[in-house]
Structure 1
Amino acid sequence: MKKISDQLYRNQSLVYKVFLYIATTAGILYLFPKGGQFKYEFQKGKPWQYENLLAPFDFPIHKSDEEITLEKEKVTKTVNPYYNYDAEVEAIVLNDIDNVYSNYFADSVPATVKTKINTTVKDIYKKGVVMSFPENDKGTINLIREGNQVKEANTKNIFQISQLHNFLTNTFKEEPYVSYTDNIYELLFDVLKPNVIKNENFTEKAKEEALSKISYTRGTVDAGKLIIVKGEVVEGDKFNILNSLKKEYESQLWSESSYTYIVIGYVVLIGLTLLMLLMFLKKNRTSIYNNNTKVTFIFLNIVFMVFLTSLSIKYNVLYIYIVPLTILPIIIKAFFDSRTALFVHVLTIMLLGFIVPNSFEYIFIQIIAGIVTIITVSELYKRASLFISVGQITLVYLIAYFAFYIISEGDFNTENLWIFGFFLLNGLITVVSAQSLIYIYEKLFGLDSDVSLLELSDTNSRLLRELSEKAPGTFHHSLQVANLAEAAAIEIGANAMLARVGALYHDIGKMNNPTFFTENQKGSMNPHDELEPKESASIIINHVIDGISMAKKNNLPDRIIDFIRTHHGTSLVYYFYKKQVDTDPENAKEEDFRYPGPIPFSKETAILMMSDSVEAASKSLKNPTYGVIDMFVEKIINKQMDEGQFLNANITFKEIEQIKKILKQKLVNIYHLRIEYPE
């Protein structure tokens, strides 16, 4: 038992990956729609590419969504609305007229006016009084009278208070009534109350009952009947029949005992996809594979995208184009690199291809959009960069979908322009969400992006401000190196922001003993004069170790600590080694004077090593000229190459030559060299 626990402890990273792999597979399987996969892939307007298809069993022909929608609208319009008739309102209104009559008419008004008003009110209340009828309700209605007796009535025969003025003008047009029309209107407008009120509950129930009688199928196809022949174009009834067969096939397949095998099939496909991702990371991105937090981060984002897509399918299939899938490559690229982003994006789209309709169209559009995302999105710390990139991505979405649309439909119907609004909404969501998610992920997973690097590049940050106070010479040196490294990174297409920030912090370890480094020494006094060469070398070498400790204490990202760790590689502190050889050759061991390493393992860390060495050594140039600087840079970098300092850096000879060229140009600018004119 102890051996097993020891084995598990030693391999806990692998055990966690296995657990994560199983959990992610199960999570994605749970999010997949519960249904089998139809074994034929077809699209409207394209030829049937398989052999002649016969109906494998009896199945109904399902109506299309458009047909069902039209039928529902038609049925809804045929349902007569229900209105309640309240007979008691008439007596209340007549009583109100008696109470307020004197407020509207003088005593000299003939008594026949009041009699005429009462008679008129009784007549209209017998028909029914309503405020007004909605446009959709005009026509025949069901009138519910006392005892729940329902009778049909025409809205034309029911008095509408909104028509009161016209009604009074026509009713009281003779003397003596015509003289009091305005008074009568004011009175009745104030006291009339509707006694016909819509019964929303009955009306909705009637509509639901009518809709429940709608048939979602029309006719059946008998088993063995020829559905379509090879090469025939899929359109019209053929398309509807094939869709009906697909629905029946998938529902029957899942409901039968074979659903166990379907689950196994899904598990194998999902598991195989995730296994390919792990193999890619292990072989090509070892630093990511060895970091369980980063692997978890990638898997979590894949599950999140599957969740959003499956959720949109449940509500409306077209909503899949609103899901901002391009956020995935944006985020992965922000924290890792372009190749990893593309690999993760493609595998995620392959998984989604199992659950979306028209999978070829969907996969094609999303992969193209992902490629454009990876190509265009860069420098996320610049506000305009993301907007421009998302605009280009949205344009690609629109063009690609438009091409598929006209292929399948044969023309372009302007009535369907609203679909393109989904892609515009997709772009808007991407712009709004990308930066927010990057910030959240930075805090949750302890990752760092170019946005966080931009914050670290602020020379007013606490650590850099402390460096400028304790070791001003080192701070100035770091600024110069940062400028050189940034220019070199831009030249070869490396991460310029990362190179700059790494250069700013690479020498923070010198703050512990600033006066032991020449750039911080004032006057002719040198503390190394009182030390043995080996002690001096130890202090110089320890600035790397001190810098790493200081960086971890101040929560600097690992990517920045890598610059501190590698900026001297395994090079020799040659000055003190040579001094030791001259004074005590027997105790002159190279390992005592050599930096612990490791050597640079990225383009950016290699650039820093070159820039740092060249800038530091350039201070010894007394009369720099073009020729001197050229030989000087060549000598330093060639020596580093001879020592094998760049073997792990994935940098080419061509790129090193480009870096040399940039460093020479920058040094010429620093020393303000000019062309020497003849006298």
Structure 2
Amino acid sequence: MKHAFHNIYRNQSLIYRIFLFICATALVVYLFPKAGKFKYELQKGKPWQYESLYAPFDFPLLKTGEEMEKERETVRKEFIPYYTYNSGTMSRVMEHYAAEYDNFVQRSELEKTGQDFLRSLYEKGIIADQENMPPGRFMHLVKGNEVSVVNKERIIRRGDLKQHLFRYLDDRRLSAYKTDFYKLFDKITEPNITWNKDFSEKALKEELENIYATKGTIERGERIILNGEVVEGEKYEKLYSLQQEYTSHIWKGTNYYWILFGYIVLVGLAFVMLFLFLGKFRADILNDNTKVTFIFVNIIIMVFVTTLAVKYDGSYVYVVPLCILPIVLKAFFDTRLGFFVHALTVLLLGFVVPNSFEYIFLQIIAGVVTILTVSELYRRANLFISVGQITLVYMIAYLAFTVIHEGNLNDIIWLNFGLFILNGLATLFAQPLIYIYEKLFGLVSDVSLLELSDTNSKLLKELSDKAPGTFHHSLQVANLAEAAANEVGANAMLVRVGALYHDIGKMNNAIYFTENQTTGVNPHDEISPEESARIIIDHVLDGIELARKHNLPDRVIDFIRTHHGTTTVYYFYKKQLEQDKHTAIEDYQYPGPIPFSRETAIVMMADAVEAASKSLKNPTFSMINDFVEKIVSKQIETGQFLNANITFKEIEDIKKVFKRKLTNIYHLRIEYPE
């Protein structure tokens, strides 16, 4: 049992990657649409390149989108809205009439005349002036539980009350009482017919939903299209109908499990390719579970967002800013990995999106443009320029596909250009997204490195105040290391930042380091070699503690850990050896670890060369050449670069850069005569 737990602990990284692989595969398959995949690529306007196709089963012929929309528009135009008839309004008005009559009309024998007019008025129906009337001739009138269709011309507008009243009184030769009756009716009359919005909208929705989506049936064995025929017109409609029926027809019974199995195999195969790629070209990332998780999270997010867009409206798939993926991965890793993951994600999305060939072609081209154009994200204009180029590529490719499908640009959908512009605007979110990822996953981008390289930052200003000599040394190391990194293609920005911070631990005991001794007094003369060595060695641990206190990224702290590797504080070791021949050399060695990347190895070499160069007296080119060779060779002999992925050729190139830089630094000016 103990042995089993030991094996699990020893292989926990591998176990985690297997777990991540299983979870990612399951989640992506879950996000895929629950339908089969039509085995033919349907491309309108192009010749049918497959075998002649006959209906494999009976299926309905679907109406086109234009036909459906035309029918919907007809239903909307012919729809008769619903209005509610309020039976209680007339009784209430009659009561007001009886109470107010004597105040307006002085003849009691005319009271019944007014009642008859009100009764005829409300039997027809009164509607408010601001109430909308139906566009057609008829309207539905709801009285209690009964619905009848009435001519809207019989309904009286509240504003037409005066006209109807005067005509009624003229017919009865009571014109002298027009004013009195109008004042009375104008006060008490209220509408008894109102538009029933909820009922009308519900009825219209039901009518729209009842529109048949089919216009016929294709029987089994009926010819759909022959090889070489152009996919257009009725042939396209039949193929589209078969595609829709096919995707739902095969997702039944035992087919469900076979399709699910197929999806799992294909998605799993894609992720296996990702692991193989990382193992072949970026083993450092494969061995870092955080980075592997980061890559998988980005893939899953893109699949999730694209799936949502497809479910809402297939045309919105081009709003999803898929090019954020290579931008983010390039910011944290490199160009090759960014494009590989982008291409892999696009292939997975081919199972989700309509017109997968067009989508894959367009997104691969956009990914190439992204990789080739997006650089130096810390320069604000660069991202805007790149996004503009990406959007332009989308538009040009869309125009080309439209010409291929339609043969002209007459049927171009201008809305799609708006979608491409929205895609570009969404891609600009890459900048804040990079910042969020830095905080969530502890990664470092060039933008953060640029901020850290500012010598006016709090920590570097403190270093320049407390240890000015060390600060100047760090600047020199940064210049040497950056030039060397550019020469061998390493991350120059990371190298520069690592060099600037590699000696911050010297702030705690600045006076014990020669570059900060300005008075000629050396405090090491007052203490034992053993104590001096401990102070010198401790600047590494002090630097790590300071870096963590100021929240420096781990990638920068790595330079503090490794810039001395496991080398020896040789001066104090020799001094102690003179006093005690049994002195253990291990007590005078830095704790390490040794450099484990090209960048940390470069800073280690630059630090040793720059520090030792201060001891050169009247240097010449040959002295500098021998000096650099001696220091770097010593580091190689002691195995300091065994874990760093750096070649002998790169080390030779780095030494050449150091020699050239030091020659320029120590070059003496010609003395001009006065």
Bin for the TM-score computed over the shorter chain: 0.7 to 0.9
5 Å matches for 1:575-586? Answer: none
User: Does residue 402 of structure 1 match 2:399?
Assistant: yes
Unaligned ranges ≥5, structure 2: none
Greater Cα offset, 167-176 or 8-17: 167-176
Which of 505, 508, 511 aligns to 2:504? It is 508
Give the whole-Å Cα distance in 2 for the aligned partners of 1:511 and 1:611: 20
The residue that corresponds to 1:363 in the other structure is 360
Which of 536, 558, 561 aligns to 2:557? It is 561
Greater Cα offset, 287-296 or 349-358: 287-296
Tell me how far 1:44 sits from its aligned partner: 0.7
5 Å matches for 1:69-148? Answer: 69-93=69-93, 96=96, 124-131=121-128, 137-144=134-141, 146=143, 148=145
The normalised TM-score by structure 2 is 0.84
1:139–1:156 CA contact under 8 A, matched in 2: no
Structure 1 residues 61, 414: CA separation in 2 closer, same or farther (over 3 Å shift)?
closer
Tell me how far 1:271 sits from its aligned partner: 0.8
Structure 1 residues 73, 552: CA separation in 2 closer, same or farther (over 3 Å shift)?
same
Partner amino acid for 1:473?
G
1:85–1:196 CA contact under 8 A, matched in 2: yes
Greater Cα offset, 45-54 or 452-461: 452-461
Tell me how far 1:600 sits from its aligned partner: 4.5
Which of 298, 302, 307 aligns to 1:301? It is 298
The residue that corresponds to 1:223 in the other structure is 220
Percent of residue pairs bearing the same amino acid type: 56
User: Does residue 331 of structure 1 match 2:328?
Assistant: yes
Instruction: Tell me how many residue pairs correspond in the alignment.
Output: 668
Partner amino acid for 1:64?
T
Tell me how far 1:348 sits from its aligned partner: 1.4
Corresponding residue SS for 1:357:
coil
User: Does residue 52 of structure 1 match 2:52?
Assistant: yes
User: Does residue 605 of structure 1 match 2:600?
Assistant: yes
Tell me how far 1:538 sits from its aligned partner: 6.0
Give deviations 1:620-650, integer Å, cap 9, x for gaps.
56668xxx5x667655554455454778455
The residue that corresponds to 1:20 in the other structure is 20
Q: CA RMSD in A?
A: 4.3
Unaligned ranges ≥5, structure 1: none
2:326–2:341 CA contact under 8 A, matched in 1: yes
Give deviations 1:493-525, integer Å, cap 9, x for gaps.
654442332122101232343223111113222
Which of 145, 149, 152 aligns to 1:152? It is 149
Partner amino acid for 2:396?
I
User: Does residue 345 of structure 1 match 2:345?
Assistant: no
Tell me how far 1:125 sits from its aligned partner: 3.6
Structure 1 residues 676, 49: CA separation in 2 closer, same or farther (over 3 Å shift)?
farther
Tell me how far 1:358 sits from its aligned partner: 1.1
Give the whole-Å Cα distance in 2 for the aligned partners of 1:610 and 1:3: 43
The residue that corresponds to 1:439 in the other structure is 435
2:85–2:141 CA contact under 8 A, matched in 1: yes
1:59–1:222 CA contact under 8 A, matched in 2: yes
Structure 1 residues 283, 593: CA separation in 2 closer, same or farther (over 3 Å shift)?
farther
Give the whole-Å Cα distance in 2 for the aligned partners of 1:101 and 1:477: 107
Give the whole-Å Cα distance in 1 for the aligned partners of 2:349 and 2:59: 28
Give the whole-Å Cα distance in 2 for the aligned partners of 1:633 and 1:134: 96
The residue that corresponds to 1:255 in the other structure is 252
Corresponding residue SS for 1:45:
coil
Give the whole-Å Cα distance in 2 for the aligned partners of 1:523 and 1:561: 32
Give the whole-Å Cα distance in 1 for the aligned partners of 2:162 and 2:16: 82
Partner amino acid for 2:562?
T
Structure 1 residues 397, 491: CA separation in 2 closer, same or farther (over 3 Å shift)?
farther
Give deviations 1:61-86, integer Å, cap 9, x for gaps.
12223322322232233221121223
1:142–1:150 CA contact under 8 A, matched in 2: no
Structure 1 residues 520, 156: CA separation in 2 closer, same or farther (over 3 Å shift)?
same
Tell me how far 1:401 sits from its aligned partner: 2.5
Tell me how far 1:21 sits from its aligned partner: 1.2
Give the whole-Å Cα distance in 2 for the aligned partners of 1:99 and 1:557: 87
Give the whole-Å Cα distance in 2 for the aligned partners of 1:413 and 1:166: 55
2:482–2:495 CA contact under 8 A, matched in 1: yes
Give the whole-Å Cα distance in 1 for the aligned partners of 2:71 and 2:434: 47
Structure 1 residues 89, 511: CA separation in 2 closer, same or farther (over 3 Å shift)?
same
Give the whole-Å Cα distance in 1 for the aligned partners of 2:470 and 2:192: 91
Greater Cα offset, 49-58 or 388-397: 388-397
Corresponding residue SS for 1:255:
coil
5 Å matches for 1:354-503? Answer: 354-413=351-410, 416-432=413-429, 434-457=430-453, 459=455, 463-483=459-479, 485-486=481-482, 494-503=490-499
Give deviations 1:312-333, integer Å, cap 9, x for gaps.
2111111211222222223323
Partner amino acid for 2:194?
I
The normalised TM-score by structure 1 is 0.83
The residue that corresponds to 1:320 in the other structure is 317
Structure 1 residues 145, 208: CA separation in 2 closer, same or farther (over 3 Å shift)?
closer
Tell me how far 1:666 sits from its aligned partner: 9.3
Give the whole-Å Cα distance in 2 for the aligned partners of 1:673 and 1:100: 117
The residue that corresponds to 1:521 in the other structure is 517
Tell me how far 1:126 sits from its aligned partner: 3.7
The residue that corresponds to 1:39 in the other structure is 39
2:36–2:248 CA contact under 8 A, matched in 1: yes
Give deviations 1:239-277, integer Å, cap 9, x for gaps.
111111112222121113222111111111111111111
Tell me how far 1:563 sits from its aligned partner: 1.5
Corresponding residue SS for 2:251:
helix
Structure 1 residues 186, 534: CA separation in 2 closer, same or farther (over 3 Å shift)?
farther
Structure 1 residues 176, 608: CA separation in 2 closer, same or farther (over 3 Å shift)?
farther
Give deviations 1:475-508, integer Å, cap 9, x for gaps.
2322443455456656776544423321221012
Structure 1 residues 661, 119: CA separation in 2 closer, same or farther (over 3 Å shift)?
farther
The residue that corresponds to 2:611 in the other structure is 616
The residue that corresponds to 2:235 in the other structure is 238
Partner amino acid for 2:467?
A
Corresponding residue SS for 1:500:
helix
Structure 1 residues 205, 279: CA separation in 2 closer, same or farther (over 3 Å shift)?
same
1:633–1:660 CA contact under 8 A, matched in 2: no
Corresponding residue SS for 2:6:
helix
Tell me how far 1:288 sits from its aligned partner: 2.0
Corresponding residue SS for 2:250:
helix
Greater Cα offset, 187-196 or 75-84: 187-196
Give deviations 1:143-177, integer Å, cap 9, x for gaps.
43645443322333322346679989999999997
Give the whole-Å Cα distance in 1 for the aligned partners of 2:67 and 2:21: 44
1:600–1:649 CA contact under 8 A, matched in 2: no
Give the whole-Å Cα distance in 2 for the aligned partners of 1:667 and 1:136: 93
1:83–1:141 CA contact under 8 A, matched in 2: no
Give the whole-Å Cα distance in 1 for the aligned partners of 2:660 and 2:133: 82
Structure 1 residues 556, 202: CA separation in 2 closer, same or farther (over 3 Å shift)?
closer
Tell me how far 1:234 sits from its aligned partner: 0.9
